[in-house]
Structure 1
Amino acid sequence: MTTQAVEDYEYEALPEDSSMSACLLAGAFAGIAEHAVMYPVDSIKTRMQILQPTPQAVYSGVLNAANKITTTEGARTLWRGVNSVILGAGPAHALYFGTYEYAKQAFGGNESGHHPVAAAAAGACATIASDALMNPFDVIKQRMQVHGSVYKSVMECGSKVYAAEGLRAFYISYPTTLTMTIPFQSLQFATYEYLRKVLNPSGKYDPMTHIVAGGIAGAVAAAATTPLDVAKTLLQTRGESTDVRIRNCSGLVEAWKLIYQRQGVAGFAKGLQPRVLSHMPSTAICWSVYEYGKWFLNRNNADQQPIMH
């Protein structure tokens, strides 16, 4: 294969013998990059969504929260629990993108033209699989993010939560998580695939396309699913609350009732700003790293093929 042929090789269609391994590896790197880079903003979002915050953890906005946390608790507080998402994000996102690519192909999403339904369905399949693996890590992360968290490590947090609340604590939010992430990922994937094809009809590797399409897709999906994310945060952090009703909250409907009773309709928009601010760049990073990983791994594979005359 000549150099020109290698450059023209369609990176979206990875070779038969390396497609899944390339998707898994690229997905793992993408997941770690996405969660780690924007982690401080995610920490602020979690704190702003707490239904019954301590007086020291009441914030008027993202900048106010960042300033208050860094000056009173130290900048490192914003990174507390990041090890949990790094441990979980790699394998979870490998499974996520691997499932997505397989399902998209099966549903006909790789055919020419726009296929938003196929992309959305593939995104839903991907999130069901990855969230089953990621949910316990997400619970540990949020327990470590709340104000006054006493946990010093991921292992300590995980073991103490398990001892006090059992295995159920790590999965009580899973149905709510899926209720949120299925529409989130379906909307995100459909928007991303549509914009990617509109901005880059040739289908060749173009970093700017993935940054723009990923950023817009992440912002749209994050804004639309914020009410579900508020309920998820309540369920995942309920064990740290001193409020009996919050501690005994057992599902999405009950969580929504509590939020509405305590904070009204405005309660469902808690954390909207930091959620969009974190998802817009993190989704752009995730897709950029993932698409680069596919292109890079595919190019290396193509470079190793016999030269054709």
Structure 2
Amino acid sequence: MSVQTHNSPDAVPGEEFDYEALPEGYGLGHNMMAGAFAGIAVGHRYPAQTQTPRTRVDLMKTRMQVISSGGTIYTGISNALSTISRLEGMRTLWRGMSSVVVGAGPAHAVYFGTYEIVKEFAGGNARDGKHHPAAAAASGACATIASDALMNPFDVIKQRMQVHGSTYPTIAACARQVFRNEGISAFYISYPTTLTMTVPFTAFQFMAYESLSKVMNPSKTYDPITHCVAGGLAGAFAAGITTPLDVIKTLLQTRGLSQSAEIRGASGLWQAASIIKREYGWGGFMRGWKPRIVTTMPSTAICWSSYEMAKAYFRRTLREDEARRAL
């Protein structure tokens, strides 16, 4: 799936390959297919790299964030890994993977499709040589609002399967039991808090990605190294500053499994935040920040690389079709 750049030996002499220019016939469907490809490649938007190692670290993050997780307090990644593998077996570290796999492709298709539409509408694709961080932030915010509406139930199922003592054999069984016991609202109780986290996360990530890409690759040609490095750094930056909201989201998504009546009754961001503050102090809001960054950095690197690669492939294919029709 190689893509011709302005330095390619196959390029027309004296003619620069314009990666950002859209060939005839390129539209929303291509962006959504590229987004779905990125979602399948990465597993999930914020916490992933390749699906299997991501799930291991993400499960540890969830265990570190959940209050009174089976009476066990995890003090770090290595402690969580050794404790979980020793007491529950290594297979436990893969729990919740199937829910992420099922939801990732469609959610990413919606995510990147919305991103491209809003970016175009907001002027982010203007060919004026200027940087448009506000357009990048707005497009990222709209993208995550749309995709999280689809992904939030899958994320709830994933975390229910990851907590200590979970006995759900499949994602379908988990979904049925959560719905039967807590109703449809259980799948969306954390949606406002999720958006409170993911909107700034994605806005910061997209601004950082666009800014880094412009500095590293001012010609805007297809450059896998630029997309990978810029994506990884942007994801790490966004993950670090939004960790407190991720801790709150985890409490709300796993509240139905808690032994505490107060936690089970937590209905929103501020109530959950007050519980965390009382239990762990201000440091409680940064629980799991290391595994969150560790999983997010390679995740966003692969996600952006996959997305840009797929877009470049579709654009090159369409240009080749145009050239053949012109002969």
TM-score, normalising length from structure 1? 0.95
Matched, 1:12 2:20: yes
Match of 1:277 in 2: 294
Deviation string for 1:77-136 (max 9, x for gaps)?
A: 111111111111111110000000110111011122211111000101101100001000
Match of 1:106 in 2: 121
Contact persistence 1:28–1:94 (CA under 8 A): yes
Contact persistence 1:11–1:294 (CA under 8 A): no
Question: Which residue of 65, 68, 75 maps to 1:49?
Answer: 65
Mind listing any 5+ residue stretches in structure 2 that lack a counterpart?
1-8, 44-50
Match of 1:133 in 2: 150
- Residues 242 and 301 of structure 1: CA distance in aligned 2, closer, same or farther (over 3 Å): same
* RMSD across aligned positions (CA): 1.8
Secondary structure in structure 1 of the residue aligned to 2:11: helix
Match of 1:22 in 2: 30
Match of 1:71 in 2: 86
Measured after TM superposition, the shift of residue 16 of structure 1 is: 4.5
Secondary structure in structure 1 of the residue aligned to 2:254: helix
Aligned residues: 307
Measured after TM superposition, the shift of residue 243 of structure 1 is: 0.7
Deviation string for 1:216-254 (max 9, x for gaps)?
A: 100110010001000000000001111100001000000
Q: Which amino acid aligns with 1:11?
A: Y
Question: What is the rounded CA distance, in whole Å, between the counterparts of 2:296 and 2:33 in structure 1?
Answer: 22
- Residues 42 and 68 of structure 1: CA distance in aligned 2, closer, same or farther (over 3 Å): same
Matched, 1:39 2:55: yes
Match of 1:154 in 2: 171
Question: What is the rounded CA distance, in whole Å, between the counterparts of 2:165 and 2:19 in structure 1?
Answer: 47
Matched, 1:292 2:299: no
Match of 1:234 in 2: 251
Contact persistence 1:215–1:284 (CA under 8 A): yes
Match of 2:46 in 1: none
Question: What is the rounded CA distance, in whole Å, between the counterparts of 1:49 and 1:73 in structure 2?
Answer: 18
Match of 2:161 in 1: 144
Contact persistence 1:95–1:126 (CA under 8 A): yes
Match of 1:85 in 2: 100
Question: What is the rounded CA distance, in whole Å, between the counterparts of 1:16 and 1:78 in structure 2?
Answer: 46
- Residues 64 and 16 of structure 1: CA distance in aligned 2, closer, same or farther (over 3 Å): farther
Contact persistence 1:54–1:147 (CA under 8 A): yes
- Residues 134 and 5 of structure 1: CA distance in aligned 2, closer, same or farther (over 3 Å): farther
Match of 2:211 in 1: 194
Contact persistence 1:173–1:232 (CA under 8 A): yes
Answer 1 or 2: which has greater helix percent. 1
TM-score, normalising length from structure 2? 0.90
Secondary structure in structure 2 of the residue aligned to 1:11: coil
Matched, 1:171 2:188: yes
The farther-off stretch of 109-118 and 178-187 is: 109-118
Measured after TM superposition, the shift of residue 8 of structure 1 is: 4.8
Question: What is the rounded CA distance, in whole Å, between the counterparts of 1:290 and 1:67 in structure 2?
Answer: 35
Measured after TM superposition, the shift of residue 32 of structure 1 is: 2.4
Secondary structure in structure 1 of the residue aligned to 2:323: coil
Q: What fraction of aligned residue pairs are identical, expressed as a percent?
A: 56
Matched, 1:264 2:281: yes
Secondary structure in structure 1 of the residue aligned to 2:125: coil
Question: What is the rounded CA distance, in whole Å, between the counterparts of 2:107 and 2:24 in structure 1?
Answer: 23
Mind listing any 5+ residue stretches in structure 1 that lack a counterpart?
none
Matched, 1:95 2:110: yes
